[in-house]
Amino acid sequence: MDKSDAIKFCRYYHGEDVCPFRDDERATLWKIERAWVERMTAGNTEMIEDAVSEYVAYGLGEFQMRDGVPISLKAFILNRAIKYDERVDIEASKRYYLKYYK
């Protein structure tokens, strides 16, 4: 996947060098999307593959599966949320996604 194709899936990151958002939620999602795009386009997908495996193991393989967002991006959002929160709360992660991303 090239960068322009990956960016088409992003809601917040559009290739900018500097985050245009000042509020924490959108700035965080911008950073997550940017990291996802960088990994996907550099062929550095091991972390993303691990995140997808984790996402499916948490029972989220079919969560919002027809919303046009690649499972790898949804999984990466969850993976980063777990890292930032230092805990796993699947229901809270679903609510976060639906509120800020859907």
CB-facing half-sphere around the CA of 33: CA atoms within 13 A: 27
**CA–CA gap between residue 88 and residue 36 (Å, rounded):** 20
CB-facing half-sphere around the CA of 9: CA atoms within 13 A: 20
pLDDT digits (tens, 9 = 90+) for 8-25: 999 999 999 999 999 999
pLDDT digits (tens, 9 = 90+) for 30-67: 999 999 999 999 988 898 999 999 999 999 999 999 99
Place of tokens 């960068």: 3
- The domain spans of the chain are 3-100
**CA–CA gap between residue 1 and residue 23 (Å, rounded):** 30
